[in-house]
Amino acid sequence: MRVYFDYNATSPLALGVADAVSAATRDLFGNASSVHYFGQQAKAALDDARSAVAALIGAEPSEVVFTAGGTESDNFAIRGAAETLEQSGRRHLVASAIEHEAVLNTLKALARRGWRTTLLPVDQTGIVSPERVRELVTDDTAIVSVMHANNEIGTIQPIAELSEIAHARGALMHTDAVQSTGKIPVDVRALGVDLLSLSAHKFNGPKGTGALWIKRGTRMQPLLTGGKHERNRRAGTENVPGIVGMGVAARLAVAKMADEGRRVAGFRDRLEDAILRNIPGTAVNGARQPRVPNTTNISFDRVEAESLLIALDLEGIAVSTGSACSSGTLEPSHVLRAMGLPPHRTQNSLRFSLGMFSTEEEVDRVAGVLPGLVEKLRGLTRKAGAVSA
Ligand SMILES: Cc1ncc(COP(=O)(O)O)c(C=O)c1O
């Protein structure tokens, strides 16, 4: 039995998505910009998917710009707005310290071009404090970018409140909703944002497909220049099969979100409770509420997270030490570090992220295997300590 508990890295396709992608690849090969029948078939499929994605986030279809995923959407949001706002004299960007690298490294790149940047601190809850945002956003701030849900610990940020603070200073508000879209209700109007990023492969759609929602009236420079695709906002022939797949995944997410959320949260809580109860020296990182239903991040005292990850993999269980991008390096998680966790906890934490195909048997298998593995690794650490002492 193989167990996949790494849904925040990427998720398997929902039922029906692969067939839709395959059919679109075969049958909708026309270029959506072509005026003939083949082009119009492809265009109709794009329009249908645009409506599905818009419905998922409470938006108008015309405000949805298709991209090649979350990273491009984040880059487009920040670079596209920054380039426009530069002319107004604003030269300051604000983001939380626990953003995904797609946001953090975009800020770094703009800092090299003269932008002032401020990272918002978080405390051990992993939630940005609106009071701190109020202090740090100034009349010079162009964009405030705070993620809706964090990819490593799952905490949900008070975006509606932060949007009000940003707007009071005349700044635009962007949220990276890559980890919340499809998992919890996301409504662009209720969040009060101007820009919202999403990515299909995090809600059981295909990889390399996403969208940036741009509130009507928001002036943006395109990231990719070329043809007039996407209302002049994102040049390049559209990835029709990928976008069709995203549309199918979006409709399924809307239909199943409430039930799925309850089911997956039940499994996540069952796993979390079993680990905390049966393994001494364990703790959940970050606030347990508000949190997306599928994620838990747990530290295991006196265990090297990488070793536990490998031991679990040998048992057929896939989890993560944090964001997929930083695994493979021994860099401690910037999220846990920003939360002020001591070094041993930033090095000994694992992320378990569940989803659509997770089952109770899988939860019980992971919960059953973990105590023995942790005990074994702690024993090895003790022996190594004894030898080196
Ligand atoms: C919060 C967040 N933002 C952005 C991304 C990047 O999305 P994509 O993989 O679609 O480029 C990810 C993916 O890990 C993410 O978790």
Q: Given this model, what pLDDT does residue 386 score? A: 66
Q: Is the pLDDT of residue 334 over 90?
A: yes
* 252-275: average pLDDT: 98
Instruction: State in Å: Cα 75 to ligand 1 middle.
Output: 11
Give the Å distance between the CA of 267 and the centre of ligand 1.
24
Pairing, β 349-353 against β 295-300: antiparallel
* Alpha-carbon span 346 to 304, nearest angstrom: 10
Res 388: pLDDT: 53
Q: Which residues line ligand 1 (CB under 6 A)?
A: 69-71, 74, 100, 102, 147, 151, 176, 178-179, 199, 201, 210, 323-324
Interval 353-371: pLDDT, tens: 999 999 999 999 999 999 9
The residue to which tokens 């162009």 are assigned: 142
pLDDT for 329 beyond 60: no
Q: How confident is the model at residue 1 (pLDDT cuts 50, 70, 90)?
A: confident
Closest residue to atom 5 of ligand 1, CA basis: 70
Contact 39, 255 (CB under 8 A): no
Judge contact between 149 and 156, C-beta under 8 A: yes
In order of 2, 185, 227, 261, the CA distances from 252 in angstroms are: 25, 13, 32, 13
Ligand 1 centroid–CA 28 distance in Å is 28
Q: Above 50 in pLDDT, residue 372? A: yes
Q: How many helices (H) and strands (E) does the chain have?
A: 13, 12
- 325 pLDDT exceeds 60? no
Distance, CA of 180 to CA of 127 (rounded, Å)? 15
Counting from 1 in the atom list of ligand 1, the atom nearest the Cα of 150 is 1
- For the ranges 16-20, 50-54, 83-87, 290-294, the lowest mean pLDDT is seen at 83-87
Distance CA 326, CA 348 (A): 14
pLDDT score for 331: 78
Nearest Cα residue to 183 out of 266, 260, 243, 127: 260
The pLDDT-based confidence of 381 (bands split at 50, 70, 90) is: confident
Q: How far is the CA of 199 from the centre of ligand 1 (A)?
A: 7
Identify which of 53, 105, 145, 179 to mutate to test ligand 1's pocket (most ligand atoms within 8 A of the CB): 179
Q: In the prediction, which pLDDT does 38 show? A: 98
**Phi, psi values for residue 141, rounded to 5°:** -75, 130
Centre a 10 Å sphere on the Cβ of residue 325 and count the other Cβ atoms it contains: 14
Under the banding of pLDDT at 50, 70 and 90, the label for residue 343 is confident
| Catalytic residue positions, numbered | 325
Does pTM top 0.85 for this prediction? yes
Distance between CA atoms of residues 348 and 282, nearest Å: 10
Amino acid occupying residue 270: R
DSSP string over 288-337: SSSB-TTEEEEEETT--HHHHHHHHHHTTEE-BSS-GGGTTS-PPPHHHH
Buried b (16+ CB within 10 A) or exposed e, 171-208: bbbbbbbbbbbbbbebebeebbbbbbbbbbbbbbbbbe
- 72-106 per-position pLDDT tens digit: 999 999 999 999 999 899 999 999 999 999 999 99
Alpha carbon nearest to ligand 1 atom 14, residue: 9
Do you know the residue count of the chain?
A: 389
